[in-house]
Protein backbone atom coordinates (compact mmCIF):
# COMPACT_ATOMS: atom_id res chain seq x y z
CA UNK A 1 0.00 0.00 0.00
CA UNK A 2 1.43 3.38 -0.97
CA UNK A 3 1.67 6.27 1.48
CA UNK A 4 -1.15 8.06 -0.33
CA UNK A 5 -3.38 4.98 -0.13
CA UNK A 6 -2.67 4.93 3.61
CA UNK A 7 -3.42 8.62 4.23
CA UNK A 8 -6.60 8.94 2.16
CA UNK A 9 -8.69 6.78 4.52
CA UNK A 10 -7.41 9.01 7.35
CA UNK A 11 -8.84 12.01 5.47
CA UNK A 12 -12.14 10.17 4.96
CA UNK A 13 -12.29 9.19 8.65
CA UNK A 14 -12.41 12.80 9.86
CA UNK A 15 -13.99 14.59 6.91
CA UNK A 16 -17.39 15.22 8.53
CA UNK A 17 -15.86 17.30 11.33
CA UNK A 18 -13.95 19.47 8.84
CA UNK A 19 -16.90 19.85 6.47
CA UNK A 20 -18.83 21.13 9.50
CA UNK A 21 -15.93 23.49 10.31
CA UNK A 22 -16.04 24.87 6.76
CA UNK A 23 -19.81 25.39 6.94
CA UNK A 24 -19.49 27.03 10.33
CA UNK A 25 -16.81 29.47 9.12
CA UNK A 26 -19.03 30.16 6.05
CA UNK A 27 -21.71 31.23 8.53
CA UNK A 28 -19.47 33.69 10.40
CA UNK A 29 -17.88 35.69 7.58
CA UNK A 30 -15.21 38.03 8.94
CA UNK A 31 -13.03 40.56 7.16
CA UNK A 32 -9.26 40.93 7.16
CA UNK A 33 -7.58 40.90 10.56
CA UNK A 34 -10.96 40.56 12.31
CA UNK A 35 -11.32 36.77 11.84
CA UNK A 36 -11.71 36.22 15.59
CA UNK A 37 -14.52 33.66 15.49
CA UNK A 38 -13.06 31.85 12.47
CA UNK A 39 -9.57 31.52 13.95
CA UNK A 40 -11.08 30.49 17.25
CA UNK A 41 -12.81 27.59 15.45
CA UNK A 42 -9.50 26.62 13.87
CA UNK A 43 -7.69 26.85 17.23
CA UNK A 44 -10.36 24.65 18.82
CA UNK A 45 -9.92 22.05 16.05
CA UNK A 46 -6.11 22.10 16.36
CA UNK A 47 -6.40 21.74 20.12
CA UNK A 48 -8.90 18.90 19.77
CA UNK A 49 -6.51 17.10 17.40
CA UNK A 50 -3.55 17.51 19.76
CA UNK A 51 -1.41 19.89 17.70
CA UNK A 52 1.19 22.00 19.56
CA UNK A 53 -0.22 25.52 19.25
CA UNK A 54 1.42 28.86 18.57
CA UNK A 55 -1.00 31.78 18.74
CA UNK A 56 -0.46 35.36 17.53
CA UNK A 57 1.94 34.07 14.86
CA UNK A 58 4.15 36.95 13.65
CA UNK A 59 2.26 39.24 16.05
CA UNK A 60 -1.03 38.76 14.17
CA UNK A 61 -3.88 38.13 16.66
CA UNK A 62 -5.88 36.10 14.11
CA UNK A 63 -3.01 33.91 12.91
CA UNK A 64 -2.34 30.48 14.39
CA UNK A 65 0.13 27.67 13.84
CA UNK A 66 -0.26 24.05 14.93
CA UNK A 67 2.60 21.56 14.74
CA UNK A 68 2.64 17.78 15.06
CA UNK A 69 5.31 15.10 14.70
CA UNK A 70 8.94 15.04 15.75
CA UNK A 71 12.33 15.57 14.13
CA UNK A 72 12.84 15.11 10.40
CA UNK A 73 11.83 17.58 7.70
CA UNK A 74 9.09 20.21 8.12
CA UNK A 75 6.16 20.59 5.75
CA UNK A 76 3.80 23.56 5.99
CA UNK A 77 0.14 23.38 4.95
CA UNK A 78 -1.37 26.84 4.51
CA UNK A 79 -4.99 27.72 5.26
CA UNK A 80 -7.07 30.91 5.14
CA UNK A 81 -10.46 31.92 6.54
CA UNK A 82 -11.15 35.59 5.74
CA UNK A 83 -14.27 36.77 3.89
CA UNK A 84 -15.20 39.70 1.63
CA UNK A 85 -17.36 42.77 2.26
CA UNK A 86 -20.79 43.19 0.70
CA UNK A 87 -21.24 39.58 -0.43
CA UNK A 88 -23.72 38.28 2.15
CA UNK A 89 -25.79 35.66 0.37
CA UNK A 90 -28.00 32.71 1.19
CA UNK A 91 -26.51 29.30 0.49
CA UNK A 92 -27.89 26.91 -2.10
CA UNK A 93 -29.83 29.57 -3.98
CA UNK A 94 -29.26 30.54 -7.63
CA UNK A 95 -30.52 34.08 -7.15
CA UNK A 96 -29.16 37.11 -5.34
CA UNK A 97 -30.56 37.18 -1.81
CA UNK A 98 -28.36 38.57 0.97
CA UNK A 99 -28.78 37.11 4.46
CA UNK A 100 -27.82 40.50 5.84
CA UNK A 101 -27.97 43.45 3.42
CA UNK A 102 -24.48 44.92 3.12
CA UNK A 103 -23.01 42.07 5.17
CA UNK A 104 -19.91 40.05 4.37
CA UNK A 105 -19.69 36.67 2.66
CA UNK A 106 -17.19 33.98 1.72
CA UNK A 107 -16.85 35.09 -1.89
CA UNK A 108 -13.45 33.45 -2.38
CA UNK A 109 -14.19 30.12 -0.68
CA UNK A 110 -11.71 30.63 2.15
CA UNK A 111 -14.07 28.80 4.52
CA UNK A 112 -13.20 25.65 2.53
CA UNK A 113 -9.57 26.69 2.05
CA UNK A 114 -8.77 26.74 5.77
CA UNK A 115 -10.84 23.71 6.61
CA UNK A 116 -9.37 21.43 3.91
CA UNK A 117 -5.83 22.53 4.80
CA UNK A 118 -6.47 21.69 8.44
CA UNK A 119 -8.01 18.34 7.46
CA UNK A 120 -4.90 17.58 5.36
CA UNK A 121 -2.57 18.53 8.25
CA UNK A 122 -4.61 16.34 10.62
CA UNK A 123 -4.40 13.34 8.27
CA UNK A 124 -0.63 13.82 7.88
CA UNK A 125 -0.30 14.03 11.70
CA UNK A 126 -2.29 10.80 12.08
CA UNK A 127 -0.18 9.12 9.38
CA UNK A 128 3.09 10.21 11.04
CA UNK A 129 1.87 8.76 14.34
CA UNK A 130 0.76 5.45 12.85
CA UNK A 131 3.80 4.94 10.65
CA UNK A 132 6.33 6.17 13.21
CA UNK A 133 7.93 8.28 10.49
CA UNK A 134 10.11 11.19 11.67
CA UNK A 135 8.98 14.57 10.37
CA UNK A 136 6.78 17.50 11.31
CA UNK A 137 3.62 18.88 9.75
CA UNK A 138 2.51 22.42 10.48
CA UNK A 139 -0.84 23.99 9.79
CA UNK A 140 -0.51 27.74 9.30
CA UNK A 141 -3.86 29.49 9.75
CA UNK A 142 -3.21 32.67 7.78
CA UNK A 143 -5.57 35.65 8.11
CA UNK A 144 -6.18 38.60 5.80
CA UNK A 145 -5.37 37.16 2.37
CA UNK A 146 -7.87 39.59 0.89
CA UNK A 147 -6.04 42.90 0.88
CA UNK A 148 -4.04 42.35 4.06
CA UNK A 149 -1.04 40.32 2.80
CA UNK A 150 -0.73 38.57 6.16
CA UNK A 151 1.55 35.88 4.73
CA UNK A 152 3.96 38.56 3.54
CA UNK A 153 4.26 39.80 7.14
CA UNK A 154 4.54 36.19 8.35
CA UNK A 155 7.38 35.53 5.91
CA UNK A 156 9.05 38.80 6.98
CA UNK A 157 8.81 37.68 10.62
CA UNK A 158 10.66 34.47 9.75
CA UNK A 159 7.95 31.94 10.64
CA UNK A 160 8.68 29.87 7.52
CA UNK A 161 12.49 29.96 7.85
CA UNK A 162 12.88 26.31 8.90
CA UNK A 163 10.20 24.90 6.58
CA UNK A 164 11.30 22.49 3.82
CA UNK A 165 8.27 22.99 1.58
CA UNK A 166 4.80 24.51 1.70
CA UNK A 167 1.59 23.04 0.29
CA UNK A 168 -1.70 24.85 -0.17
CA UNK A 169 -4.75 25.00 -2.40
CA UNK A 170 -7.51 27.28 -3.59
CA UNK A 171 -11.14 26.42 -4.38
CA UNK A 172 -11.94 26.96 -8.05
CA UNK A 173 -13.89 26.08 -11.16
CA UNK A 174 -11.34 23.55 -12.46
CA UNK A 175 -9.25 20.76 -10.95
CA UNK A 176 -5.54 21.14 -11.61
CA UNK A 177 -2.15 21.83 -10.12
CA UNK A 178 -1.87 25.62 -10.03
CA UNK A 179 0.90 26.19 -12.57
CA UNK A 180 -0.31 29.59 -13.81
CA UNK A 181 1.56 32.77 -12.91
CA UNK A 182 0.20 35.28 -10.39
CA UNK A 183 1.29 38.90 -10.31
CA UNK A 184 3.20 40.77 -7.61
CA UNK A 185 1.49 43.88 -6.27
CA UNK A 186 1.82 46.91 -4.06
CA UNK A 187 -0.89 49.06 -2.47
CA UNK A 188 -0.13 52.71 -1.73
CA UNK A 189 -2.24 55.48 -0.24
CA UNK A 190 -1.72 59.09 -1.37
CA UNK A 191 -2.86 62.00 0.79
CA UNK A 192 -3.14 65.45 -0.75
CA UNK A 193 -3.42 68.61 1.34
CA UNK A 194 -4.56 71.90 -0.21
CA UNK A 195 -6.20 75.05 1.13
CA UNK A 196 -9.93 75.40 1.86
CA UNK A 197 -11.83 78.41 0.59
CA UNK A 198 -15.34 79.45 -0.42
CA UNK A 199 -15.65 77.76 -3.77
CA UNK A 200 -17.20 80.84 -5.38
CA UNK A 201 -16.43 84.07 -3.54
CA UNK A 202 -12.77 83.23 -2.82
CA UNK A 203 -12.08 80.34 -5.17
CA UNK A 204 -8.84 82.02 -6.25
CA UNK A 205 -7.51 81.61 -2.70
CA UNK A 206 -8.26 77.89 -2.51
CA UNK A 207 -6.07 75.00 -3.67
CA UNK A 208 -8.05 71.82 -4.24
CA UNK A 209 -6.78 68.45 -3.00
CA UNK A 210 -9.61 66.84 -5.00
CA UNK A 211 -8.23 68.46 -8.16
CA UNK A 212 -4.89 66.83 -7.32
CA UNK A 213 -6.53 63.39 -7.04
CA UNK A 214 -8.19 63.92 -10.44
CA UNK A 215 -4.99 65.18 -12.06
CA UNK A 216 -3.18 62.14 -10.70
CA UNK A 217 -5.83 59.92 -12.22
CA UNK A 218 -5.39 61.62 -15.62
CA UNK A 219 -1.61 61.19 -15.40
CA UNK A 220 -1.85 57.52 -14.49
CA UNK A 221 -4.33 56.94 -17.31
CA UNK A 222 -1.75 58.30 -19.79
CA UNK A 223 0.88 56.06 -18.20
CA UNK A 224 -1.16 52.90 -18.83
CA UNK A 225 -0.27 52.81 -22.52
CA UNK A 226 3.41 52.88 -21.70
CA UNK A 227 3.73 49.97 -19.34
CA UNK A 228 3.91 46.20 -19.92
CA UNK A 229 0.53 44.92 -21.09
CA UNK A 230 0.32 42.37 -18.25
CA UNK A 231 0.72 45.11 -15.62
CA UNK A 232 -2.34 46.59 -13.95
CA UNK A 233 -3.12 49.75 -11.99
CA UNK A 234 -6.36 50.15 -10.01
CA UNK A 235 -7.47 52.99 -7.78
CA UNK A 236 -10.16 53.97 -5.30
CA UNK A 237 -10.87 57.43 -3.92
CA UNK A 238 -10.73 57.05 -0.14
CA UNK A 239 -11.61 60.65 0.65
CA UNK A 240 -12.97 63.07 -1.92
CA UNK A 241 -12.74 65.98 0.53
CA UNK A 242 -16.34 65.81 1.74
CA UNK A 243 -19.82 66.37 0.33
CA UNK A 244 -19.72 70.19 0.15
CA UNK A 245 -19.30 71.23 -3.48
CA UNK A 246 -19.20 74.89 -2.44
CA UNK A 247 -15.99 74.41 -0.45
CA UNK A 248 -12.57 74.00 -2.07
CA UNK A 249 -11.51 70.56 -0.78
CA UNK A 250 -8.50 70.95 1.49
CA UNK A 251 -7.90 67.21 1.86
CA UNK A 252 -8.31 64.19 -0.37
CA UNK A 253 -6.91 60.70 -0.45
CA UNK A 254 -6.65 58.02 -3.09
CA UNK A 255 -5.47 54.39 -2.98
CA UNK A 256 -3.51 52.84 -5.85
CA UNK A 257 -2.82 49.15 -6.42
CA UNK A 258 0.00 48.41 -8.86
CA UNK A 259 0.43 44.88 -10.22
CA UNK A 260 3.36 43.59 -12.23
CA UNK A 261 5.28 40.44 -13.14
CA UNK A 262 7.56 40.59 -10.09
CA UNK A 263 8.62 42.88 -7.26
CA UNK A 264 11.27 44.83 -9.25
CA UNK A 265 8.71 45.59 -11.98
CA UNK A 266 6.12 46.66 -9.39
CA UNK A 267 8.74 48.87 -7.70
CA UNK A 268 9.55 50.55 -11.03
CA UNK A 269 5.88 51.14 -11.91
CA UNK A 270 5.12 52.35 -8.37
CA UNK A 271 7.95 54.90 -8.61
CA UNK A 272 6.35 56.24 -11.81
CA UNK A 273 2.94 56.47 -10.11
CA UNK A 274 4.55 58.42 -7.24
CA UNK A 275 6.18 60.76 -9.74
CA UNK A 276 2.75 61.45 -11.22
CA UNK A 277 1.38 62.13 -7.70
CA UNK A 278 4.14 64.68 -7.16
CA UNK A 279 3.39 66.26 -10.53
CA UNK A 280 -0.32 66.44 -9.66
CA UNK A 281 0.58 68.16 -6.40
CA UNK A 282 2.78 70.61 -8.26
CA UNK A 283 0.05 71.42 -10.80
CA UNK A 284 -2.58 71.96 -8.13
CA UNK A 285 -0.23 73.67 -5.64
CA UNK A 286 -1.07 71.09 -3.01
CA UNK A 287 1.18 68.83 -0.96
CA UNK A 288 1.27 65.07 -1.23
CA UNK A 289 2.46 62.30 1.07
CA UNK A 290 2.27 58.56 0.44
CA UNK A 291 2.52 55.31 2.32
CA UNK A 292 2.78 51.64 1.32
CA UNK A 293 -0.21 49.77 2.79
CA UNK A 294 0.48 46.21 1.70
CA UNK A 295 2.12 44.20 -1.03
CA UNK A 296 2.87 40.69 -2.13
CA UNK A 297 5.29 38.90 -4.41
CA UNK A 298 4.49 36.92 -7.54
CA UNK A 299 3.85 33.19 -7.08
CA UNK A 300 6.80 31.01 -8.06
CA UNK A 301 6.26 27.64 -9.67
CA UNK A 302 8.11 24.60 -8.39
CA UNK A 303 8.16 21.89 -11.03
CA UNK A 304 9.28 18.91 -8.91
CA UNK A 305 6.52 19.59 -6.37
CA UNK A 306 3.96 20.20 -9.12
CA UNK A 307 4.85 16.87 -10.74
CA UNK A 308 4.59 15.08 -7.39
CA UNK A 309 1.18 16.65 -6.76
CA UNK A 310 -0.07 15.86 -10.28
CA UNK A 311 0.50 12.13 -9.68
CA UNK A 312 -2.02 12.23 -6.83
CA UNK A 313 -4.62 13.92 -9.04
CA UNK A 314 -4.14 11.14 -11.59
CA UNK A 315 -4.43 8.47 -8.91
CA UNK A 316 -7.60 10.01 -7.44
CA UNK A 317 -9.28 10.82 -10.75
CA UNK A 318 -11.72 13.75 -11.02
CA UNK A 319 -13.66 15.02 -7.98
CA UNK A 320 -16.56 12.54 -7.53
CA UNK A 321 -19.47 14.95 -8.14
CA UNK A 322 -22.96 13.49 -8.36
CA UNK A 323 -26.03 14.43 -10.41
CA UNK A 324 -27.44 16.69 -7.67
CA UNK A 325 -24.14 18.63 -7.64
CA UNK A 326 -24.28 18.99 -11.42
CA UNK A 327 -27.91 20.09 -11.39
CA UNK A 328 -27.22 22.89 -8.87
CA UNK A 329 -24.06 23.94 -10.76
CA UNK A 330 -26.09 24.12 -14.00
CA UNK A 331 -28.62 26.33 -12.22
CA UNK A 332 -25.80 28.59 -11.00
CA UNK A 333 -24.32 28.76 -14.50
CA UNK A 334 -27.61 30.24 -15.74
CA UNK A 335 -26.86 33.29 -13.54
CA UNK A 336 -23.50 33.81 -15.31
CA UNK A 337 -22.56 35.41 -18.59
CA UNK A 338 -21.44 32.76 -21.15
CA UNK A 339 -18.17 34.71 -21.34
CA UNK A 340 -17.52 33.90 -17.65
CA UNK A 341 -17.68 30.20 -18.52
CA UNK A 342 -15.47 30.57 -21.59
CA UNK A 343 -12.92 32.49 -19.52
CA UNK A 344 -12.44 29.54 -17.16
CA UNK A 345 -11.75 27.26 -20.14
CA UNK A 346 -9.51 29.82 -21.86
CA UNK A 347 -7.51 30.16 -18.66
CA UNK A 348 -6.46 26.52 -18.85
CA UNK A 349 -6.01 26.57 -22.64
CA UNK A 350 -9.10 24.48 -23.47
CA UNK A 351 -10.68 25.31 -26.80
CA UNK A 352 -13.36 22.62 -26.63
CA UNK A 353 -15.96 23.13 -23.93
CA UNK A 354 -17.06 19.80 -22.41
CA UNK A 355 -20.78 19.68 -21.77
CA UNK A 356 -20.60 19.68 -17.98
CA UNK A 357 -21.28 22.42 -15.42
CA UNK A 358 -18.73 20.99 -12.97
CA UNK A 359 -15.14 20.01 -13.69
CA UNK A 360 -15.42 16.25 -14.29
CA UNK A 361 -11.85 16.15 -15.59
CA UNK A 362 -8.30 17.03 -14.53
CA UNK A 363 -6.44 19.76 -16.37
CA UNK A 364 -2.89 18.54 -17.21
CA UNK A 365 0.12 20.44 -15.80
CA UNK A 366 1.25 21.30 -19.32
CA UNK A 367 -1.97 23.18 -20.11
CA UNK A 368 -1.20 26.82 -20.82
CA UNK A 369 -3.92 29.36 -21.32
CA UNK A 370 -4.45 33.00 -20.52
CA UNK A 371 -2.56 34.01 -17.38
CA UNK A 372 -4.35 34.69 -14.13
CA UNK A 373 -4.07 38.42 -13.57
CA UNK A 374 -4.65 38.18 -9.83
CA UNK A 375 -2.22 38.06 -6.94
CA UNK A 376 -1.89 36.00 -3.77
CA UNK A 377 0.20 36.40 -0.65
CA UNK A 378 1.13 32.73 -1.07
CA UNK A 379 3.61 34.36 -3.48
CA UNK A 380 5.79 35.50 -0.60
CA UNK A 381 5.84 32.03 0.94
CA UNK A 382 6.84 30.70 -2.50
CA UNK A 383 9.85 33.06 -2.53
CA UNK A 384 10.94 31.79 0.90
CA UNK A 385 10.40 28.03 0.53
CA UNK A 386 9.48 25.66 -2.34
CA UNK A 387 5.69 25.93 -2.59
CA UNK A 388 2.97 24.14 -4.51
CA UNK A 389 -0.68 25.11 -4.81
CA UNK A 390 -3.56 22.86 -5.79
CA UNK A 391 -6.75 24.03 -7.47
CA UNK A 392 -9.78 21.88 -6.92
CA UNK A 393 -13.23 22.36 -8.40
CA UNK A 394 -15.73 23.35 -5.71
CA UNK A 395 -18.19 25.37 -7.80
CA UNK A 396 -19.70 25.67 -11.28
CA UNK A 397 -17.16 26.25 -14.06
CA UNK A 398 -17.04 29.96 -14.86
CA UNK A 399 -18.19 31.30 -11.50
CA UNK A 400 -16.11 34.48 -11.11
CA UNK A 401 -14.19 34.88 -7.85
CA UNK A 402 -15.42 37.45 -5.32
CA UNK A 403 -19.08 37.16 -6.29
CA UNK A 404 -22.31 36.23 -4.52
CA UNK A 405 -22.41 33.12 -6.70
CA UNK A 406 -19.30 31.77 -4.93
CA UNK A 407 -20.96 32.43 -1.55
CA UNK A 408 -24.15 30.68 -2.72
CA UNK A 409 -22.14 27.55 -3.60
CA UNK A 410 -19.88 27.58 -0.51
CA UNK A 411 -21.82 24.96 1.46
CA UNK A 412 -23.10 22.84 -1.43
CA UNK A 413 -22.30 19.18 -2.09
CA UNK A 414 -19.67 20.11 -4.70
CA UNK A 415 -17.92 22.37 -2.17
CA UNK A 416 -17.82 19.55 0.38
CA UNK A 417 -16.54 17.00 -2.14
CA UNK A 418 -13.92 19.45 -3.47
CA UNK A 419 -12.78 20.22 0.07
CA UNK A 420 -12.19 16.54 0.89
CA UNK A 421 -10.46 15.96 -2.46
CA UNK A 422 -8.16 18.95 -1.86
CA UNK A 423 -7.26 17.58 1.58
CA UNK A 424 -6.32 14.24 -0.02
CA UNK A 425 -4.12 15.89 -2.67
CA UNK A 426 -2.38 18.09 -0.09
CA UNK A 427 -1.91 15.32 2.50
CA UNK A 428 -0.35 12.98 -0.07
CA UNK A 429 1.93 15.71 -1.43
CA UNK A 430 2.97 16.71 2.12
CA UNK A 431 3.90 13.07 2.86
CA UNK A 432 5.98 12.99 -0.35
CA UNK A 433 7.89 16.01 0.99
CA UNK A 434 8.42 14.36 4.39
CA UNK A 435 9.51 10.96 3.05
CA UNK A 436 11.34 11.67 -0.21
CA UNK A 437 14.77 13.29 0.27
CA UNK A 438 15.33 13.38 -3.52
CA UNK A 439 12.09 15.34 -3.98
CA UNK A 440 13.11 17.83 -1.28
CA UNK A 441 16.50 18.30 -2.94
CA UNK A 442 15.00 18.73 -6.42
CA UNK A 443 12.41 21.18 -5.04
CA UNK A 444 15.14 23.22 -3.34
CA UNK A 445 17.29 23.27 -6.50
CA UNK A 446 14.32 24.46 -8.57
CA UNK A 447 13.57 27.12 -5.93
CA UNK A 448 17.14 28.39 -5.91
CA UNK A 449 17.13 28.59 -9.71
CA UNK A 450 14.00 30.82 -9.54
CA UNK A 451 15.01 33.08 -6.66
CA UNK A 452 18.78 33.22 -7.01
CA UNK A 453 18.76 32.77 -3.24
CA UNK A 454 17.23 36.14 -2.46
CA UNK A 455 13.89 37.43 -1.28
CA UNK A 456 13.16 41.13 -0.97
CA UNK A 457 10.03 41.71 1.07
CA UNK A 458 7.72 44.05 -0.89
CA UNK A 459 6.54 45.71 2.33
CA UNK A 460 8.98 48.19 3.91
CA UNK A 461 10.29 47.22 7.38
CA UNK A 462 8.59 50.12 9.15
CA UNK A 463 5.10 49.23 7.86
CA UNK A 464 3.02 47.11 10.24
CA UNK A 465 -0.20 45.23 9.42
CA UNK A 466 -3.50 46.89 10.32
CA UNK A 467 -4.37 44.28 12.96
CA UNK A 468 -7.29 44.69 15.33
CA UNK A 469 -7.17 43.75 19.02
CA UNK A 470 -9.11 40.70 20.15
CA UNK A 471 -12.58 42.00 21.15
CA UNK A 472 -13.06 42.34 24.90
CA UNK A 473 -16.44 40.60 24.78
CA UNK A 474 -15.83 37.94 22.19
CA UNK A 475 -18.84 36.27 20.66
CA UNK A 476 -16.73 33.34 19.45
CA UNK A 477 -18.85 30.25 19.15
CA UNK A 478 -15.97 28.04 20.27
CA UNK A 479 -15.90 29.87 23.60
CA UNK A 480 -13.93 32.92 24.57
CA UNK A 481 -10.54 33.37 23.09
CA UNK A 482 -8.87 29.97 23.52
CA UNK A 483 -5.89 30.21 25.87
ZN1 LIG B 1 -8.93 33.57 -2.37
Q: Which of 271, 296, 321 is the last residue of a domain?
A: 296
Distance (Å, rounded) from C-alpha 454 to C-alpha 434? 24
The predicted-structure confidence for 99-139, as pLDDT tens digits, reads as follows 999 999 999 999 999 999 999 999 999 999 999 999 999 99
* 176, 188: one domain: no
Q: Are residues 194 and 123 in the same domain?
A: no
* Gap from CA of 148 to ligand 1 centroid (Å): 12
Of 66, 63, 219, the residue nearest 148 (C-alpha): 63
Segment 404-451, tens digit of pLDDT: 999 999 999 999 999 999 999 999 999 999 999 999 999 999 999 999
Q: Which range in 146-155, 343-352, 465-474 is most confidently predicted, on average pLDDT?
A: 146-155
User: Could you read off the pLDDT of 165-208 as tens digits, one per residue?
Assistant: 999 999 999 999 998 889 999 999 999 999 999 999 999 999 99
For residues 423 and 283, state if they share a domain.
Answer: no
**Per-residue burial over 74-90, b = 16 or more CB atoms within 10 Å of its CB, e = otherwise:** bbbbbbbbbbbeebbbe
Residue 457 lies in a domain: no
Long-range interactions of 19-22: CB distance < 8 A, separation 24+? 19/115, 19/416, 19/419, 19/420, 21/45, 21/114, 21/115, 21/118, 22/111, 22/112, 22/114, 22/115, 22/116, 22/410, 22/411, 22/415, 22/416, 22/419
Q: Measured in angstroms, how far is the CA atom of residue 181 from the centroid of ligand 1?
A: 15
Same structural domain, 383 and 406:
yes
**Lateral strand order in the sheet of 387-393:** 52-55, 64-70, 135-142, 74-80, 165-172, 387-393, 176-177
Cα 284 to averaged position of ligand 1 atoms, centre (Å): 39
Quick one: 166 and 233 in the same domain? Answer: no
Ligand 1 geometric centre to CA of 201 (Å): 51
In the reported structure, the alpha carbon of residue 401 is separated from the centroid of ligand 1 by a whole-number distance in angstroms of 8
- Residue 360: CATH number of its domain: 3.40.630.10
Which runs of E-coded beta strand occur in 194-304?
232-239, 251-260, 287-296
Separation of CA 376 and ligand 1 centre (Å): 8
**375 CA → ligand 1 middle, Å:** 9
Report if residue 459 sits inside a domain.
Answer: no
pLDDT at 364: 85
Determine the distance separating the centroid of ligand 1 and the alpha carbon of 129, expressed in angstroms.
Answer: 32
| Distance from C-alpha of 94 to C-alpha of 168, rounded to nearest angstrom | 29
Residues 197 and 175 in one domain: no
DSSP 206-234: -B-HHHHHHHHHHHHHHHGGGS-TT-EEE
Cα(349) to centroid of ligand 1, in Å?
22
Asked if 285 and 316 sit in the same domain, the reply is no
| 379/377 Cα distance (integer angstroms) | 5
262: CATH = 3.30.70.360
Query: 171: CA distance to ligand 1 center in Å?
Result: 8
Q: How many domains does the chain have?
A: 2
What's the pTM value of the predicted model, to 2 decimals? Answer: 0.93
pLDDT of residue 475: 59
Distance 131 CA to ligand 1 centre (A): 34
CA–centroid distance, residue 172 to ligand 1 (Å): 9
Q: Which domain holds residue 228?
A: 184-296
Helix locations, 132-225, DSSP H: 150-156, 209-223
Average pLDDT over residues 321-347: 93
- Name the pLDDT band for 242 (thresholds 50, 70, 90): very high
Residues 38 and 170 in one domain: yes
**Percent of the chain scored above 70 by pLDDT?**
97
How far apart are the CA of 112 and the centre of ligand 1, in A?
10
CA of residue 170 to ligand 1 center, whole Å: 7
Amino acid sequence: MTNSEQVWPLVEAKKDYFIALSDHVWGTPELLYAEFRSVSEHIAALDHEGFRLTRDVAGLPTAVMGEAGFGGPVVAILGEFDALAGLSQEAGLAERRPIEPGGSGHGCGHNMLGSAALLAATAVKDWLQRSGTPGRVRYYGCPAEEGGSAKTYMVRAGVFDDVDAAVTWHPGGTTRVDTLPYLANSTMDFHFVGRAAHASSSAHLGRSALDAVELMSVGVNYMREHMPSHARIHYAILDGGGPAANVVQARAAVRYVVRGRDNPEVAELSARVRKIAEAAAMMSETEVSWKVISGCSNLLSNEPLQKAMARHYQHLGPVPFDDADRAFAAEMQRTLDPKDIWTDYARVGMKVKPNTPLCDFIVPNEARGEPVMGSTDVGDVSWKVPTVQARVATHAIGTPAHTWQIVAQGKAGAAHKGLVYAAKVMAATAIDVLTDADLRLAAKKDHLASTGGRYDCPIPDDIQPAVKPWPAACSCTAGDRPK
